[in-house]
Chain A
Amino acid sequence: MLLEPERYEHYEDLFYHFEATRREFIKVVGGGIVVLCLCGDALAQGRGGRGSGGAASQDLGAWLHIGEDGVATVYTGKVELGQNIRTSLAQAVAEELRVPPKSVQLVMGDTDLVPFDMGTFGSLTTPTMSPQLRRAAASAREMLLDLAAEQWKVERISLVVAEGKVTHAATNRSLTFGQLTRGQKLMRTIGGDIPLTPVDQWKIAGKSLRKVSGTEVVTGQHRHASDIKRPGMMYGKVLRPPSFGATLSSANLSAAEAMGAIALRDGDFVGVAATSDHLASQAFQAIDAKWQSSQQSSSSGELFDHLKKSATQAQVPGRAPGTSLGDADSRVRLEQGITSADLKLEQTYTVAYIAHAPLEPRAAVAEWNGDKLTVWTGTQRPFGVRGELAQAFRISEERVRVIAPDTGGGYGGKQTGEAAIEAARLAKASGKPVKVVWTREEEFSWAYFRPAGVIEVRSGVMKDGTLTAWEFHNYNSGASGIRTPYNIPNQKIQFHQTQSPLRQGSYRALAATANHFARETHLDELAQAVKIDPVQFRLKNLTDERQRAVLEAAAERFQWGKRKKGKDEGFGIACGNEKNSVVATCARIKIERPSGRVRVLHVVTAFECGAIINPDHLRNQIEGCTVMGLGGALFEAVEFENGKISNPRFSKYRVPRFSDTPHIETVLLDRKDLPSAGAGETPMVVVAPAIGNALFDATGVRLRSMPLAPKGMVA
């Protein structure tokens, strides 16, 4: 089974062609001021696979253009999928340029216009792209000051930049950016050494600003990839195998062709394209195909056994102090840590496969002009998809342009270019632009899933609550968030790869959700065993001040220890950290009788991700993470049997809806002294254990498998 590249996220196999693109870019934008921004160190680190850091740091990260009309346009390979970075990046640029955010345009995810970017994932936009753009903007501002100083023959120091103008107060003169850039052709390349406006002086960044494309969205004007229309466009449909791994033996396309559709078989690919979506569906139905199914027939029933049995090598992610590499000495110490403990606990936790189910399924429109291919598609990795297309059609990447319009959800699930390749193949066959939109069923069956996993934990604790030993094995889910924030002297933490029966890939927060679920549930079990309050128990073993701060903030807002429990109610808490931000969540749940339905009534999440760029959008992300996390915690699970997904519809795969939504409170800790980290993922990692711990509190039943209560709690 193919391992999705994004599973370990810092993946990259495409090279950016620096010189060629720079020249082309200058041709495209024309006069004015251009600032080319080289990747900072943070990004270079993420490009470990690229070989020497020196080469990577020469890559362009983004560019900024101030045209002769004074309009500032940013070009970035990041894409908008609902994390609202189009807004937060505009804010960051506006801050340094001293202009209103609405006068900053962003060109995003168009591979012909923006510099190479490995993709939008891993919460990297805010920590890496945002500072680059701020530096580019700060440097453009300095260039504008130079231009004005030269024109007026005055000292730069006597000039002020504000509201899109440079002003010389002494002589009451001012020039707009457009007046300054007219007739100019200036280009500057900058590195990481441009001074930025200190966070405590921010006027535009750090404040809530509404989604910049809000009006287009509420009026239905925004065009997602699935809304794109091209002259002469045809509609395509692709035949799927009846089960995973099945191979095509024969396909009779004559009936489809007789209807006037283009029908195509190329290897195992069978598809049709027709002038209307209706005709395409009819032609599609008329295909007569025979398949040879593969013998592999795993099912969700025996999944966890299978994962454990097929485990291959172990990996030790990073190396925490006391983390064992499996050498004899540390193994002995781990065993001593366990033997010397007053209490020992050994438990197994599991998580199911779940689906991203973005509301906009995979969609693409492809168009060939001679041997040049243009594809509009909703993706998190436009350059990755460009590479896939170049490979599939054996053409060079320069001949492929991928444009990623702001997309209807991704959550880690849109890093691949299936629909793009399918549309391009059909477009090639028909000689016309072709649109392919996956059905919900296709999206549920043929996209990739959040990995399932088995996690085994063995631990030791003293009666006073001191943790003495920690052994943690994760089979299949991944290594993100696997290290414990608690101070435990003897540790062994390992991730084991397995043979996943389903196609799996990255999912919002990756394995951090699974690992936090196991760790924080286990912590709760230990606290219970030594009869110490779960908050006190955690604090006793935590020294990290950021982690303590969010834990205490969440507990305080929730009134942990003071709040009265209603009938059939339970409270739970959990905390953790990932991607340089820290989080703690408290949940209040209620079991409805007699149905047994679990209602999450109230969730308090305290979150800290360094300096906050847009507090309201941060809140929105935390709320969204809570709702999405709740689905995986309580009821979402992909079921499969005989190589088929058995619940590939919203009527069978339950996603969170209005009635599932709790009252959500967010506590934001703004650390202006710390660099801003991304926030679209980490707020979800402790939702499940907080809910699970609350369920235990309500019922005395400990649930160790996610989803916790797909059919409610009858106990």
Chain B
Amino acid sequence: MAETRGAQPAISGARAEVVELRVNGIRHSVHTSPERSLLSVLREDLDLTGAKYGCGEGQCGACTVLVDGQPVRSCITRVSAVARKKITTIEGLAKNGRLHPVQEAFLEVDVMQCGYCTPGMILSAVALLKKHPHPSDEEIERSMEGNVCRCGTYPRIRAALRIAAQKMELLSKEGGHAAGT
């Protein structure tokens, strides 16, 4: 039985243009096809490899970054759609050499096994805590369900979220800026 895989329509006829990106407080003018995913521009053009590829279909959360504070799956986000918006990747989460409370909590709870899901988990958690400073288990499930940890460290991520919530509350009480993004 013969099977043919004919040439498929090219992904995009769109020509390269200059897209303005604001990533971690730095402006980049990226010469790229506007159709490309934010994930591949971050990783390949800007060498910000903290956002990981896990599925390419918005199902695992490994590629999560924050766009204007909202968690976004960068693998299914066209780069042109986030031009001039405020993008935060894991590399830009620590401020002035000080880790974000969620990062600290991940270290304290010693969450990580392989750590491949970690950047996406941390950024999703940052967004969640911003919306719900003290999330219930159900809220955690609802908003983190799209983040896969194949090593199965979910119980620890949950514990880290709790600790981070406390840390952030303390910080905001002290009047210090709760390293928000």
Which residues of A are in contact with B by a Cβ distance under 8 Å?
Answer: 81-84, 208, 210-211, 213-215, 217-224, 226-227, 229, 235, 239, 242-243, 246, 249, 252, 255, 276-278, 281-282, 285-293, 295, 357-361, 406-411, 437, 439-440, 616-617, 620-621, 623-628, 649-651, 655-659, 661, 663-664
> Given A217-B118, A620-B113, A624-B113 in contact, is the A359-B5 Cβ separation under 8 Å?
no
From A213, A278, A358, give the contact of B150 (CB < 8 A): A358
Determine the chain B residues whose CB is within 8 A of the CB of A293 once the complex forms.
1-3
Determine the chain A residues whose CB is within 8 A of the CB of B113 once the complex forms.
82-84, 409, 620-621, 624
**Ranked 4 nearest A-B pairs via Cβ:** A220-B50, A627-B152, A82-B114, A408-B116
**B119 is an interface residue with CB less than 8 A from chain A:** yes
State the CA gap A438–B36 with chains docked (Å).
Answer: 18
Which residues of B are in contact with A by a Cβ distance under 8 Å?
Answer: 1-12, 32-33, 36, 40, 43-44, 47-57, 59-60, 62, 89-91, 93-94, 99, 103, 106-107, 110, 112-119, 122, 140-141, 144-158
> Given A281-B11, A649-B57 in contact, is the A208-B110 Cβ separation under 8 Å?
yes
> Given A218-B106, A407-B114, A408-B52 in contact, is the A285-B7 Cβ separation under 8 Å?
yes
Interface of A is mostly: loop
Q: Are B9 and A285 in contact (CB under 8 A)?
A: yes
Q: Are A219 and B91 in contact (CB under 8 A)?
A: yes
From A409, A623, A628, give the contact of B114 (CB < 8 A): A409
Nearest chain A CB to B5's CB is how many angstroms away? 5
Determine the chain B residues whose CB is within 8 A of the CB of A623 once the complex forms.
152-153, 155-156
From A252, A359, A659, give the contact of B62 (CB < 8 A): A359
List 16 contacting pairs A-B, 8 Å CB cutoff, sorted by A: A210-B107, A217-B112, A220-B91, A227-B43, A229-B47, A243-B3, A287-B7, A288-B7, A292-B1, A358-B116, A359-B52, A359-B62, A408-B115, A409-B114, A440-B60, A650-B55
Q: Are B44 and A286 in contact (CB under 8 A)?
A: no
Q: Are A278 and B52 in contact (CB under 8 A)?
A: no
- In addition to A295-B1, A650-B54, A657-B154, 7 A-B residue pairs with Cβ atoms within 8 Å of each other are A82-B112, A218-B118, A220-B89, A278-B36, A289-B5, A359-B150, A656-B154
Q: Are B112 and A214 in contact (CB under 8 A)?
A: yes
Determine the chain B residues whose CB is within 8 A of the CB of A214 once the complex forms.
106-107, 110, 112
Nearest chain A CB to B146's CB is how many angstroms away? 8
Nearest chain A CB to B30's CB is how many angstroms away? 12
From A217, A224, A658, give the contact of B154 (CB < 8 A): A658
State the CA gap A291–B36 with chains docked (Å).
Answer: 30
> Given A278-B36, A359-B117, A624-B113 in contact, is the A658-B144 Cβ separation under 8 Å?
yes
Interface of B is mostly: loop
Q: Are B145 and A649 in contact (CB under 8 A)?
A: no
State the CA gap A130–B49 with chains docked (Å).
Answer: 32
From A211, A229, A285, A409, give the contact of B10 (CB < 8 A): A285
> Given A282-B10, A624-B153, A655-B148 in contact, is the A650-B57 Cβ separation under 8 Å?
yes
Nearest chain B CB to A65's CB is how many angstroms away? 27
Closest to A407 in B: B114
State the CA gap A276–B149 with chains docked (Å).
Answer: 29
Closest to A621 in B: B113
Closest to A233 in B: B44
Closest to A655 in B: B148
Nearest chain B CB to A282's CB is how many angstroms away? 5
> Given A218-B106, A290-B3, A620-B153 in contact, is the A359-B54 Cβ separation under 8 Å?
yes
Closest to B149 in A: A359
> Given A83-B113, A658-B144 in contact, is the A218-B54 Cβ separation under 8 Å?
no
Determine the chain B residues whose CB is within 8 A of the CB of A211 once the complex forms.
110, 112, 115
> Given A246-B3, A290-B2 in contact, is the A278-B32 Cβ separation under 8 Å?
yes
State the CA gap A410–B115 with chains docked (Å).
Answer: 12
Which of A239, A282, A359, A663 gathers most chain B CB within 10 Å? Answer: A359
From A210, A278, A649, give the contact of B59 (CB < 8 A): A649
Q: Are A219 and B114 in contact (CB under 8 A)?
A: no
Q: Are B2 and A291 in contact (CB under 8 A)?
A: yes
State the CA gap A361–B150 with chains docked (Å).
Answer: 12
Determine the chain B residues whose CB is within 8 A of the CB of A406 once the complex forms.
114-115
Nearest chain A CB to B89's CB is how many angstroms away? 7
Q: Are B49 and A220 in contact (CB under 8 A)?
A: yes
> Given A210-B107, A214-B112, A285-B11 in contact, is the A219-B93 Cβ separation under 8 Å?
yes
State the CA gap A663–B155 with chains docked (Å).
Answer: 7
